Amino acid sequence: MRISEVFGLNKTQAELDFVDIDPTRDLRLFVDPYFLAARSDGWSVSASRTIRSFFQHFITLVRAGHHVAARHLFAHLSEPNETCLGLSQGTPSGRGIGTLNADNIYASLVRSRAVQTGVVEHLEDCRLFVDGIDKDKTSDMTTNIIRQHLIEYTANQCRLWGMETARDVPSGFAWDRARCQWVNTHCDMLVVDGRRILLLPKAIVSYSDRYAPQKYYQHYVLDFLQHEHLSMNSNLVQRNVRRDGTERRFVTKKSLSETVAPYSKEFLTTFTQRHPEVFREFRQSAGAGDSSLLNQELSPSHVGDIAAFLARRLPSIPSGNATATEYHRTVAGILELVFYPNLVCPQIEQEIHDGRKRIDVTFDNAAETGFFWRLHTTYQIPSQYIFVECKNYRRDVANPELDQIAGRFSPNRGKFGLLVCRNIDNPTLFIERCKDTYRDQRGLIIPLTDSDICNILMQISGGDDRPEEGLLANRVRQIMLT
């Protein structure tokens, strides 16, 4: 039973920003520190800084000969089974770095020429050059180090979806980059059947198969050695004659791996010391084209069918305070489906009581292409965070609602927002009001009505790719250019 079912959210994976895990079994996904470091959204940048803080502190201690202090850092890198990701069979039990295993891995790191000589500079490099560390261990280490980030993310998701948390729960050790030490606190946490659960943003998980030693060896090291042996005309060079009479010279990767370049992490270290430029090329290109997993890769549910259902569901919700929470959470799920992976990590800004929650949501802007990327690169509008005001009013929205969302803008947080509402009686007049806000340099606000959202959903249902891009671009033209 997945988390969404445990808490009765009635949401599909496409409507949720977190990986909808089953707490009774591990999902074969991983947290890859290399992939995390390549992301530009605020949450990922902060988490990646914490990882770098830990590993650079460890490397500094090792190279300075402070082995007791360095070994102590590994004391809290074990059994991160709160995320239910990894390779465990059956109920998640954690395949982290246990006490004995930590001793072995620490010894490998200390003995490693890759660490001593500076070949290893990042946590993910250990997977390439240090025996005993592969994607599961790297993922486990990363999870432990960024635990505090995951605790805060989980708390935000619980507030967004109304999932009850347990109070005053030991958090487990997390790395505090400000104090450069492990810390353990008590806080509100998600608990299922007596077990702490940490939710992970689905945008940061991967199969962790790009920044891998085998990829480096096969596609960079052996490629380089092929060219080198051809230029030297070594005894590994083979020849054959083409039909046109010309000679073809070649070196097979098999002959290299069987003779001068047998695969091992020790060999990769030696090679990298001699040819650091090859490793730099690998690091720069390993993440090229890498992107977050799509919803259909995380769940068998068809996104088109979900979109069609939501297009029917949204207009059926009555307007007014009594159904505000239902409407707001339906919209939050729709925006997740429509804008992921460009917008991630939704977070509630404010709440009101008596069951009527004004869900003003902030998304992190993670776009690398498209409209939300152009906001800051082309339109020069600060947009690291995207603000969403959701109004389930029976009446029309007007200047007070525009002023409310504009009042949340700042150059550091962002100056772009979406005002989601049921209907606008006079769309032309409202666009004029949005123009006034933009001309006064108070920010750019785009309205989205139920009709707009349902049209986008039906286009997604029909197989269109990112139909929201055209609508948003047209609204910007209306506001900026007319």
Measured in degrees and rounded to the nearest 5, phi and psi for residue 381 equal -110, 120
Q: Is residue 296 part of a domain?
A: no
The total number of structural domains in the chain stands at 3
What's the pLDDT score for residue 367? Answer: 96
Q: Is residue 51 part of a domain?
A: yes
My answer on whether 48 and 177 are in the same domain is yes
By CB atoms closer than 10 A (0-12, 13-18, 19+), residue 471 is middle
What's the pLDDT score for residue 357? Answer: 44
My answer on whether 365 and 472 are in the same domain is yes
What's the pLDDT score for residue 356? Answer: 45
Among candidate residues 146, 173, 206, the one where a domain is terminated: 206
Measured in degrees and rounded to the nearest 5, phi and psi for residue 191 equal -130, 130
Among candidate residues 286, 311, 339, the one where a domain is terminated: 286
My answer on whether 259 and 171 are in the same domain is no
Helices 276-286 and 265-274 cross at an angle (nearest 10°) of 110
My answer on whether 88 and 234 are in the same domain is no
What's the pLDDT score for residue 330? Answer: 96
Q: Which residues contact 411 (CB under 8 A, 6 or more apart)?
A: 382
My answer on whether 61 and 170 are in the same domain is yes
Q: Is residue 440 part of a domain?
A: yes
Among candidate residues 221, 256, 286, the one where a domain is terminated: 286
My answer on whether 171 and 265 are in the same domain is no
Extract the tokens encoding 63. Answer: 């190279």
Q: Is residue 292 part of a domain?
A: no
Whole-angstrom distance, CA of residue 229 vs CA of residue 250: 9
Q: Which residues contact 52 (CB under 8 A, 6 or more apart)?
A: 37, 122, 123
What's the pLDDT score for residue 397? Answer: 93
Domain at 419, CATH number? 3.40.91.30
Residue type (1 letter), 244? D
Q: Is residue 62 part of a domain?
A: yes
Q: Is residue 109 part of a domain?
A: yes
My answer on whether 268 and 397 are in the same domain is no
What's the pLDDT score for residue 352? Answer: 38
pLDDT, tens digit, for every residue of 233-284?
999 999 998 888 898 999 999 999 999 999 999 999 999 999 999 999 999 9
My answer on whether 437 and 413 are in the same domain is yes
What's the pLDDT score for residue 106? Answer: 82
Q: Which residues contact 336 (CB under 8 A, 6 or more apart)?
A: 14, 15, 16, 17, 343, 346
Q: Is residue 295 part of a domain?
A: no
Give, for all 482 residues of the chain, the pLDDT tens digit: 999 999 999 999 999 999 999 999 889 999 999 999 999 999 999 999 999 999 999 999 988 989 899 998 888 887 688 999 986 655 555 545 555 577 777 887 888 888 888 899 999 999 999 988 899 889 999 999 999 999 999 999 999 999 999 999 999 999 999 999 999 999 999 999 999 999 999 999 998 888 999 999 999 999 999 999 999 999 999 999 888 889 899 999 999 999 999 999 999 999 999 999 999 999 998 877 678 999 999 998 899 999 999 999 999 999 999 999 999 999 999 999 999 999 999 998 755 344 444 558 999 999 999 999 999 999 999 999 999 999 999 999 999 999 999 988 999 999 999 999 999 999 999 999 999 999 999 999 999 999 999 999 999 999 999 999 999 999 999 999 87
My answer on whether 247 and 170 are in the same domain is no
My answer on whether 342 and 255 are in the same domain is no
What's the pLDDT score for residue 60? Answer: 92
The domain in which residue 239 lies consists of: 213-286
Residue showing tokens 């992190």: 364
Extract the tokens encoding 33. Answer: 């520190």
Whole-angstrom distance, CA of residue 251 vs CA of residue 365: 47
pLDDT, tens digit, for every residue of 7-16?
999 999 999 9
My answer on whether 344 and 376 are in the same domain is yes
My answer on whether 249 and 313 are in the same domain is no
By CB atoms closer than 10 A (0-12, 13-18, 19+), residue 319 is middle
In contact, 127 and 108? CB cutoff 8 Å: no
Q: Is residue 297 part of a domain?
A: no
